[in-house]
Structure 1
Amino acid sequence: MKKHEFRTEPLPTPSMPSGVVHLVVNEGAERFSYYGMRSILVVFMTGMLLNTQGSLDPMGEAEAKSYFHLFASGVYFFPFLGAILADAFWGKYKTIILLSLVYCGGHVVLALDHTRFGLLVGLTLIAIGSGGIKPCVSANLGDQFGVVNGHLLTKAFAWFYFAINVGAFGSVMLTPWLLEHFGPGLAFGVPGILMFVATIIFWSGRAHYAHIPPDRSGVFQALSRPQTWRGIGKLAGIYVFVAFFWSLYDQTSSAWVLQAQHMDRVWMGVEWLPSQIQAVNPVLIMVFIPLFTYVVYPVLNRMVRLTSLRKMAMGFFLAVGAFLISAYIEQQIESGMEPAIAWQLLAFVVITAAEVMVSITCLEFSYTQAPLKLKSLLMGLFLLSVSLGNGFTAFVNYWIQNSDGTVALTGPDYYWFFAGIMFLVACLFLLVMKGYEEKAYLQGTRPG
């Protein structure tokens, strides 16, 4: 790509930028790819994994959860690689295109090789590709806006998150069904096809984007300012707390799936697969985004000034409530009962409300609080919080495995442990957030 082939700054228009449509649709297709693959991982690892001779060689539940969260940790660690490549070397567009192809390669490996080796290679490629593009995609969306239409940024990020959940719902409904009826080849293959489609959609909108060029000297200059490091340090302090939220939230695709296997999953006259229950999350997101934007937040704002950090704090406490419900469900299972899946659906309602207040808020917060030259890098720092949270979960699940094959933290105690940790984190966050002063940086403004 020639250095000045495309626009290098957003158009001075008060309307929504034309490239936003491509970016939103691309994100929906890419999320179909990711969540479809991810939704069946635990079931695949505990029931369909093969050895090199082609015989079944499944993992135990604790081992599978450890592998799952180690992979998720990798997905959210590699954003730093993508952020550095985008901000200092390749630019966001080139970084997204090249790492999307790596991403597609990971899906191909998972579809063709169902051994542990294939699992590790496929997940590694997906972690590099998916993780590498994450900070670039969301930061690239923000780059389409300047001072004139900056007021539309919140709406654009809401559409962006809406597309994520449309893709997630479709994939979480379809992919477990494909795994159940056609096996892992097709179940992993279809998400791979959608990732390729996502790459084509992104490429086709290239003429509509503002391509903010990489600026290695600008990055290093920004990093040389003491105020930049003070800002990064303050954001990093916030993200440490957010990491524990992700530790709980991402277990909806691991521990909650395994829990659903022991529940009465007949709902609305249909017996749902354990991996399909999580499809309620994107549906709730699509309902909750407008509900919170136009009803809940305005009502709360009349009672107390609703800052980004206050929204996050509320979300942390809601996450505690969701895991208390999970602990109750596990108590019923341990007593020999088969609790109705409605209990887990209630937990999903609570954790999804928490997600709206933490994740969407933090997505926009991370972009606006980042200095102009460090948008991708700071988005990568936010995503690292997801990596740290999943790393913590993976460590806990590794730590509780005894040498004799038993597990130290079982039943409701497992959920009580995470609920207790999150409660302590939320209380401490209430104290820390008082010292944070918010300051926004948008394209077209002078760097601070």
Structure 2
Amino acid sequence: MRVIQEVHAMGKYLTLPPQDQVGMPKGIPYIIANEVAERFSYYGMRTILVVFMTQYLVSSTGELDTFTESQAREAYAWFISSAYFFPIIGAIIADALLGKYLTIMILSVVYVIGHGCLALIDMPSVALQATFEPRTWLLIGLALVAMGAGGIKPCVSAHVGDQFGHGNKELLSKIFGWFYFAINVGSFVSTLLTPWVLDRYGPGWAFGIPGILMLLATIFFWMGRKVFVHIQPRGLVYLRETFSGEGLRLILRLLPVYIFISVFWSLFDQTGGAWVLQARSMDRNFLGIEWLESQVHALNPLFILIFIPIFSYAIYPAIGRIFPLTPIRKIGIGLFVTVGSFAMSAVIQEWIDAGSMPNISWQIVSYILITAAEVMVSITALEFSYTQAAPQMKSFVMSLYLLSVSAGNVITAMVNRLTRNEAGESMLEGASYYWFFTGLMLLAALIFVGVGKVYKPHDYIQGDDAKVGD
């Protein structure tokens, strides 16, 4: 099959993947390196956010100006929700106006500036503190990070798939697994390191180091520009194709799936909020080390690194011998496993409420279950979203999937807001908070079984003029 080349505004680049190419595309190492560094920056900042808001935040006069636990859970959820709302904006800019590469480069600069604003919170400069209160610097920094991280998210995921044609499309599943592996390498290292930096050197360095890593991520991506496949923006025709006819039918077909996945994200993202606060009330001495409460979250990316090959080469093949394991079925099983993970956290909280100091090893059980669910839901949904999107809608459909993360965190934020009293404390106290979300996830998982039965998949790949299969 012939290789199609066109002239891009920035130079001569491939604008469609070679359809007869076998093996891994040359641009993949640059994308993986970018993802490791970018996810280090994002998760490093995010890991310490609740701890910073509840223990370190001060006013311009140097007095503590911290959030209550309920306020911190809500603020954390709104930030995550924002970070996963901006993918919609980034996808439209990429597919209609600038293309994925330029969109990623521009928003990466915004991302770096956001990290800089967070690092400035701890700066002693009188001029900086006179300009804005630390809470305002926090708001500005988080808004810019949300725009940058969210805006590039669907573009990077779709950019991975864009590098593949029919000759090597069988490698897509493997590369999305490695892509997720890279995310969790960055997450694991930063989740262990950044809380330690915060504890030893304060917020300035703890927020500054992730900013440096984001700058490196931007450089890595720029270095791969000459070997990437650059899918061209489609202009206004993109908007017409996306929001009419087959485009709308495709969106409406996927929305029910994403609605139920959003409940999974409501629970999963509380591992960085409610579970961190829960760990503060536990005996964190494990393996002879006294762990910081936010370091415990490193269990998730660590287990991801272990579980990806186990699920790919052992668990999925074993289940496949019993019944066909479609993407929808993987997601459905993952939703039920999530129920178990939050039920375990509810039991832990009951012990805490009763006056015990349960060891942090009990939370490991919750992390094992939630990570197994993540492998089945998140990784599967990532590949599923790419293959279910028509070629001109790859970034937009990726952003719709990411919008499910945003919606899930809106659920968390609203539950925390609507159950808070005038003193800022939650009226959904102790274990009842965890049992509420356990019940919500069980209800969603049961309904999803019916949704999965009526969903009919349609697979697309770059280079296709029509759907590939049914």
Amino acid at match of 1:413: S
Alignment CA distance shift 1:214-1:257 (3 Å): same
Distance in 2 between residues matched to 1:240 and 1:102, nearest whole Å:
30
Match of 1:32 in 2: 40
The TM-score normalised by the length of structure 1 is 0.98
User: Deviation at 1:224?
Assistant: 5.7
Equivalent runs, 1:375-390 vs 2, <5 Å: 375-390=394-409
Aligned counterparts of 1:163 and 1:415: Cα–Cα separation in 2 = 31
Shift of 1:269: 0.6
CA distance in 2, matches of 1:28, 1:336: 41
Residues 121 and 203 in structure 2, CA contact (< 8 A), matched pair in contact too: no
Give, as a single letter, the amino acid of the residue that structure 2 aligns with 1:26.
Answer: N
Shift of 1:113: 1.7
Are residues 1:7 and 2:26 paired?
A: no
The answer to whether the aligner puts 1:287 opposite 2:306 as a matched pair is: yes
Give the secondary structure class of the aligned counterpart of 2:329.
helix
Whichever residue aligns with residue 199 of structure 1, its letter is T
1:232 aligns with 251
Which residue, 178, 185, 193 being the options, matches 1:174?
A: 193
Match of 2:281 in 1: 262
Native 8 Å contact 2:71 2:424 kept in 1: no
Secondary structure of 1:214's aligned partner: coil
Which residue identity lines up with residue 93 of structure 1 in the other structure?
Answer: Y
For residues 264 and 82 of structure 2, the distance between their equivalents in structure 1, rounded to whole angstroms, comes to 17
Instruction: Report what 1:108 is aligned to.
Output: 116
Per-residue CA deviation, residues 64-91 of structure 1 (Å, 9 max, x unaligned), is: 0100000000000000110000000000
CA distance in 2, matches of 1:342, 1:244: 26
Q: Which residue of 2 aligns with 1:46?
A: 54
Deviations 1:28-78 (A, max 9, x none): 110000000000000000001111222211110000010000000000000
Corresponding residue for residue 159 of structure 2: 140
**Between Structure 1 and Structure 2, how many residues are aligned?**
448
Deviation at 1:201, TM superposition (A): 0.2
Q: 2:91 aligns with which of 62, 83, 102?
A: 83
Specify the code of the residue in structure 2 equivalent to 1:98: I
1:361 is matched with: 380
Q: Work out the CA distance in 2 between the residues paired with 1:447 and 1:163.
A: 32
Which segments of 5 or more consecutive residues in structure 1 lack a partner in the other structure? none
Question: Any stretches of 5+ residues in structure 2 without a counterpart?
Answer: 1-7, 123-133
> Within 5 A, what are the aligned runs for 1:305-324?
305-324=324-343
1:350 alignment partner in structure 2:
369
Partners of 2:71 and 2:322 lie apart in 1 by: 46
Give the match for residue 59 of structure 1. 67
Write the distance in 1 (CA, Å) between the matches of 2:423 and 2:314.
53
Which deviates the most, 381-390 or 215-224?
A: 215-224
Q: How far apart are residue 163 of structure 1 and its match?
A: 0.4
Structure 1 counterpart of 2:78: 70
Question: Following the alignment from structure 1 to structure 2, what is the Cα–Cα distance between the partners of residues 370 and 85?
Answer: 17
Looking at structure 1, the residues matched to 242 and 408 of structure 2 have their Cα atoms a distance apart, in angstroms, of: 26
Q: Give identity over the alignment, percent.
A: 52
The 10-residue stretch of structure 1 (225-234 or 64-73) with the greater mean CA deviation from structure 2: 225-234
Q: Does 1:394 align with 2:413?
A: yes
The alignment's TM-score, normalised by the length of structure 2, stands at 0.94
Is 1:275 aligned to 2:314, yes or no? no
Residue 152 (structure 1) aligned to one of 158, 167, 171: 171
**Separation of aligned partners in 2, 1:392 and 1:51:** 30
Measure how far apart 1:444 and its partner are.
1.5
For the aligned residue pairs, the C-alpha RMSD in angstroms reads 1.1
Contact 1:218 1:373 in 2 (8 A): no
After TM superposition, give the deviation of residue 405 of structure 1 in Å: 3.9
In the TM superposition, what is the alpha-carbon distance from 1:225 to its structure 2 partner? 4.8
CA distance in structure 2 between the aligned counterparts of 1:405 and 1:394, rounded to whole angstroms: 13
The question of 1:99 aligning with 2:99 is answered: no
C-alpha distance in 1 between matches for 2:179 and 2:418: 37
Instruction: Return the alpha-carbon distance in structure 2 between the equivalents of residues 332 and 3 of structure 1.
Output: 61
TM superposition shift of 1:445 = 1.5
